[in-house]
Amino acid sequence: MDLQLEGTVVLVTGASRGLGAAMALALAKEGATVVAAARSKDSLAEVAAQGEGRISAVTVDMRDEESVRALVPEVVARHGRIDGLVNNAGIAPAGKFATQDPEVWKDAMAVNVIAPMLLAQAAGQHMIEQGAGRIVNIASTTGVRGKPYLVPYSTSKGAVVRFTEALAAEWAPKNVQVNCIAPGAFVTEAQKAVTESPELHAKRIAKIPAGRMADPSEIVPLTCLLVSPLSSFTTGAVFVVDGGESGKL
C-alpha cells in the first residue's frame, strides 16, 4: 500500500534511539523527508546515516523551551513545510512519591507535556495554513492505567492522552489530525534493566498476555499510517500497543 508519504516533511523527536529511531527510519523508508531531533548528537548522526539521505538531524534538549520553540521554524526553513509531527521524546523518572523532589515533576512535565504542546502549537500553525497536517503524540500505557513508582511519568502521559483528544476536536475542522499511541513494554535501551535480568524479564512478561515484549519495529506501521494522508478521518484516537496488557483484568 502506498502511504502517500513521498514529498512530505515529518519531525520526529526523541529520534536518536529506541522507538524514535525506528519511527524516523520507517518514515524515511516510506518516502518522507525526516528531521530527527534529540539530545544525543552522535546517536542522531548514526540514525541519519541509515536514512539514505532522507533524514537530517537537529540536536535539542526538550527541557530548553527556547530550543524547542526554534525547532519547527528550523524545519520549515530547511524544507519549506511541515506535514507531520511525532512527539516521541520523553523521560520516565522512577521513585517513591512520598519523598519525590518537585524538580522531578517539573522535568517530567517540561519534557513530556510542555515540549509536545509547544511543538504542536508551532507545527499546527503551518499545517492549518497548508490545509492539512498530522500530529502523533507518543504516550504510554501508564498514561492509560496508573503505575506505582512512576507517578510523575503516569501523570504526564495521562495529560498527553487528554491533550490529544482535546486538540483533535479543536483542529478537526482545520483538517489537522491529532492521534496518540500508548506503547507498553518494548525492547529498548530504556528497558535494559528489565531485559538484562532474567528474573525481572520473566516477571515483566508474565503480565503480558502476548507472552513477550515488543520489538521497536512493531510500532512503526501504525505510526506511518497515522502520519499518512490516508488517516485523514482518524483523529482523537488513542491506540494502545501493549500485547493485551492493559486490556486484561
- Map grid coordinates 511525532 to a residue: 86
Catalytic residues: 153
Of 10, 122, 13, residue with least CA distance to 61: 13
User: 244: which 3 cell numbers?
Assistant: 493485551
3-state secondary structure of 132: coil
- Kindly give, in sequence order, each residue whose CB lies less than 8 Å from that of residue 214, ignoring residues fewer than 6 positions away: 183, 184, 185, 186, 187, 241, 242, 243
DSSP 30-66: TT-EEEEEES-HHHHHHHHHTTTTSEEEEE--TT-HH
What whole-number distance in Å separates Cα of residue 67 and Cα of residue 118? 11
CA-wise closest residue to 15 among 55, 54, 53, 67: 55
Judge contact between 31 and 50, C-beta under 8 A.
Answer: no
